Structure 1
C-alpha cells in the first residue's frame, strides 16, 4: 500500500474501516449518519490505484490533502455527486460524466443529492506513475504529468459530459470477471491513459454549469419543504416567491442538483409516500391515499401511480 496514491493511513484518516483484502485489492467501508458505502481499491501499477465506489449516503466529509502531484480520473456510473467548481460555486457530476482532477480542493462536505453514487476512480501519483508505467510497458507514451498540462488542470476539476467514446473502457472495468480482474484492470488503465493522450481537449473549458452555493441551498430547502407537505399544491411561481429565488434559476438549479424537474421529483415523492401509506394500512382506500398526497381525483392519482411505479395502487 505504500506506493498507492492513497495510503492505508490516509484511508483510515478519512474514517474508513478496512473490511477485507483480496488479491491486491482492499475493501474499505465508509459510514456516517446519512448512510454507508464501500470503496474497493486496487493497486494496478506502482503509483496507480483503481477504486470502485459504491456509496449509499447523503454526504461524506473529507479533509484529504494530496501533498503531491496527482492526476485523478473519476467516472460516474449512476447517481450524482456535488463538487466545488470555483469560489463559492457548486456543480454536479452525473451518470456518464468523466471528471479530471488534481485533488487540490478535496476537502469539506461532498454531497450525493440522490443519496447514492456508483462509479470508479483511477488515481495516479504523477511522478511515480511517470516512472512505473514505461517500466511496465516499454515506450508507453502517456505521461500523467503531460496530461495535467494538456487538459489545463488547475485548482478545480474539469468535467466532460456524456463521454460516450470512452464509455466502453469503463463498462469493461465494471464487468471484469473475478479471475481476470487485475490483468484486465491494468490493460484498461493503460487504454484509458492512451485515450486521454490522443484526445483533443474540447474547445470549452470543461467546466460544468455551476450554481452559487446560496442557490443550491434554496433548491435543497424547496425539496425539503415539498417532501414535508406532499398534500399541498404550490405553483412554481409561488415557490420562487416563497424562497426568494428567480423562477428560471430555481428550475435549472433544482434539475442540476437532483437530476429532474421539480414536477417530476414531486410526483415521484408523492407516489413513494402513497405506496408507504397503502402498504402500512391495507384498509386504506385509494381515494384516501390520493388525498393524503395532494390528488383530488382518484383516477388521476391511479394514472400517475401506474406511470411512476409500473403498477396500479391496488396491485
Structure 2
C-alpha cells in the first residue's frame, strides 16, 4: 500500500481494498452513479502504475492536493474530464496523455461518457529521488528536471494521440502477468526517457478550456436528450431551449463528449435499442419507436451502421454467444 491509498482515502469513504500482495493492491470505488476498480503496482520507490477501470460519471475531487507529486494519465477508452480551480475544464480523448502536478490547480475529475479505462503513473518526487540507484549505467533521469520541462508554472502538459505514445502505452495493456514486474520497470524508464527528450515546443498544446457555464449547459442538454429518446429535436430548438448560441453549443458539446450531438444521440439510441432487443419484451418496430424512429427500416439501417449488424442478427448472435458486441 503506497502513496495512492494515502491520497485516495481522503477523496471518498467508499473506497476499499479488495486484494493486496507485496507488489499489487486492488481498490474498488463505489458511488451512486456506478463503480470503479483501480489496480496499482509499485514499480519503483515513490512510483506507482495504476490501471483505472471506471463505469461511472463523477469521480474524485482534489480536496487534498499534494506538493511535489506528478501524475501522468493515458486515456485508452472513454474520456477524462478535469475541472480546474478557475472553473474551466480540459479533456483527454482516447489515445491522449497528460502530465500535471497534483497541486491546487486541479479541482475535480470525471468521465463524461460514464466509462473510462486508462493508466496513471503517480510519482512522489521526494520518495522517488533514489530512482538513480535502480538504473542501469548510461541511463540518466532527472524527475525534477522533467517537472520543470512539462509542468512549468503549474501547467498541464497534454500530448494528443501519436504513434509514439501508442507504442509506449499500448503494450502496457496486454503485458502477461508473469513478466509484469520487470516489464513495468522497463516501460516506466522508456516513458521517462521519452518525456525527457520530447520537443515540448512542438508537442505542447494549449488545451481547449471550456467554461463551467458552458459545460453545465451541454451536460443539461445531454441529460435532456437521453431522457427523451423517443422525440426528435433540431439543433436550433435545443439552442433556443437552453439559451446557448448554436456555435457555442456545438463546440462545447463536442469538447465535452468528443463527438457531435447527432452522432452522440444516434449512438446512445442504438445502445439502448440493443439492450431492449436482448430483453426481448418488444419487437423491432416497437423498439424503433421507443428510440425515436417512426420507420422500422430506417431504424434497422441506423442500427446496422452503428453496430455493424442488423437488429435481428445482433439479437441472434448474442443469444448463441457468437459475435456479441459489448456495450459500454
8 Å CA contact 2:150, 2:156 repeated in 1: no
The 5 A counterparts of 1:42-53 are: 42-53=41-52
The 5 A counterparts of 1:186-201 are: 186-201=185-200
Pair 52,277 (structure 1): closer, same or farther in 2 beyond 3 Å: closer
The CA distance in 2 between the partners of 1:96 and 1:273, in whole Å, is: 26
Partner-residue secondary structure (3-state), 2:126: helix
Look up the match of 1:254: 253
Residues matched between the structures, number: 310
The CA distance in 1 between the partners of 2:73 and 2:3, in whole Å, is: 14
Pair 211,48 (structure 1): closer, same or farther in 2 beyond 3 Å: same
Look up the match of 1:150: 149
Deviates more, 1:176-185 or 1:160-169: 160-169
Look up the match of 1:185: 184
8 Å CA contact 2:84, 2:105 repeated in 1: no
Look up the match of 2:291: 293
1:96: Cα distance to partner? 0.7
Q: Are 1:98 and 2:97 counterparts?
A: yes
8 Å CA contact 2:75, 2:92 repeated in 1: yes
The CA distance in 2 between the partners of 1:174 and 1:128, in whole Å, is: 26
Deviates more, 1:219-228 or 1:120-129: 120-129
1:66: Cα distance to partner? 4.0
Q: Are 1:13 and 2:10 counterparts?
A: yes
Q: Are 1:243 and 2:254 counterparts?
A: no
1:108: Cα distance to partner? 4.5
1:26-48 CA-to-partner distances (Å, cap 9, x unmatched) read 11111111111111111111111
1:30-87 CA-to-partner distances (Å, cap 9, x unmatched) read 1111111111111111111111111111111334534431221111111111102562
Pair 95,278 (structure 1): closer, same or farther in 2 beyond 3 Å: closer
1:189-236 CA-to-partner distances (Å, cap 9, x unmatched) read 111101111111034743321211111111111111111111221110
The CA distance in 1 between the partners of 2:285 and 2:178, in whole Å, is: 54
The CA distance in 1 between the partners of 2:83 and 2:94, in whole Å, is: 18
Pair 20,277 (structure 1): closer, same or farther in 2 beyond 3 Å: closer
Within the candidate set 130, 143, 153, 1:132 is matched to: 130
The CA distance in 2 between the partners of 1:84 and 1:109, in whole Å, is: 5
Partner-residue secondary structure (3-state), 2:205: coil
Pair 64,49 (structure 1): closer, same or farther in 2 beyond 3 Å: farther
The 5 A counterparts of 1:147-226 are: 147-203=146-202, 205-226=204-225
1:75-103 CA-to-partner distances (Å, cap 9, x unmatched) read 11111111025622101111111100001
The CA distance in 2 between the partners of 1:294 and 1:90, in whole Å, is: 32
1:247-293 CA-to-partner distances (Å, cap 9, x unmatched) read 112112111211221111111222233344444454x4433332332
1:294: Cα distance to partner? 2.2
The answer for unaligned runs of 5 or more in structure 1 is: none
Pair 5,143 (structure 1): closer, same or farther in 2 beyond 3 Å: farther
The answer for unaligned runs of 5 or more in structure 2 is: 314-328
The CA distance in 2 between the partners of 1:86 and 1:11, in whole Å, is: 19
1:308: Cα distance to partner? 1.7
The CA distance in 2 between the partners of 1:230 and 1:44, in whole Å, is: 47
Structure 1 vs Structure 2 CA RMSD:
2.1
8 Å CA contact 2:61, 2:107 repeated in 1: yes
Deviates more, 1:138-147 or 1:46-55: 138-147
Partner-residue secondary structure (3-state), 1:166: helix
